[in-house]
Amino acid sequence: MTAIEFSREARVELDAAADHYEQDYPGRGVRFYDAVERALRMIVAVPAAAPLFPGVRHDLAIRRRLVAGFPYALAYRLVGEVIRIEAVAHTHRRPGYWLPRTR
């Protein structure tokens, strides 16, 4: 099985989004984590199936997997045998804010 690794920033983004959902809508934070888990399983099953992240240089090979039911995307890339999650990015706010951390 391929390993999944979150960057420190991506882990903070994931937890912050889940906390926000949980505070505003009890139980929704757990549903967000579940949706992210489903997206991660899809990534592990076929890592190259997701499209390259729009607007990102192709040589970075960063892909985007949308999180079903939520306005979030997982920005990830393959680093050897590891799937590295670079960002848990809201799809409507601050596009590309996370790109400087990938260089």
CATH number at residue 26: 3.30.2310.20
Tell me what pLDDT residue 1 has.
52
The model's pLDDT over 19-77, given as tens digits with 9 standing for 90+, comes to 999 998 999 999 999 999 999 999 999 999 999 988 888 888 999 999 999 999 999 99
Number of domains in the chain: 1
**Cα–Cα dist 13/88, whole Å:** 6
Domain that holds residue 46: 3-102
pTM of this structure: 0.91
- CA-angle at 66, arms to 28 and 103, nearest 5°: 115
